[in-house]
Amino acid sequence: MILEGTLYNAGGPLPSVKIKFGAYKTSLNGVLRDSSHAFTTGPDGSYTVELEPGYYNVVWSNNGREEALGQVIADADSVMSLPQALEASPTPITDERAQGLVEQILATKAEVQRLADQAEQSEKNAAQAATDALNAIMVPIFDEMNGVKI
């Protein structure tokens, strides 16, 4: 993947900003977990960097402070800016987010079970109602055919 562009903030281009890519997972092509690659933007905030295909956490460092920007999943063929690459990568699942998803799944499962039980009871009620209706119609006919008066 080739990342190229100019880093800006509200005040204009960001010169001499260090961007670090740290592999968070070993990739099939051999980029090892915890390996890293960094570059510094030019005097006009411009940059061009080539990343091996892999999975990277992205951190920027400016005036002594570091801030995580997100994650990039680099492929072999893409050419884009760093913001585009960050936006294109999936949002990582944190433990809190995973717990929330598990809770949603369990709640949905409970609701599906409740609806299935309700449908099963409705089916039983419908079958009993059909039997009762059939008996209400047929019993007098059979009784009359057999000469039994009610």
CATH number at residue 82: 2.60.40.1120
Residues 78, 119, single domain; the answer is no
Residues 72, 122, single domain; the answer is no
Domain span at residue 119 reads: 93-150
The pLDDT confidence band at residue 131, using thresholds 50, 70 and 90, is very high
Residues 62, 32, single domain; the answer is yes
Residue 27 backbone zone (phi > 0: left; psi -120 to 50: alpha; other: beta): beta
- Does pTM top 0.85 for this prediction? no
Digit-coded pLDDT (tens) for 72-128: 988 888 999 998 988 887 665 667 767 777 888 888 888 999 999 999 999 999 999
Fill in the amino acid letter for 114: R
Residues 65, 6, single domain; the answer is yes
Please choose, from the candidates 45, 52, 53, 54, the residue with its C-alpha nearest in 3D space to the C-alpha of residue 83.
45
Residues 11, 77, single domain; the answer is yes
Residues 86, 100, single domain; the answer is no
Q: What is the mean pLDDT of the chain?
A: 86
Give the chain's domain count.
Answer: 2
3-class state of residue 39 by DSSP: strand
CA dihedral in degrees (58, 64, 65, 69; nearest 10)?
-20
Decide if pLDDT at 150 tops 60.
no
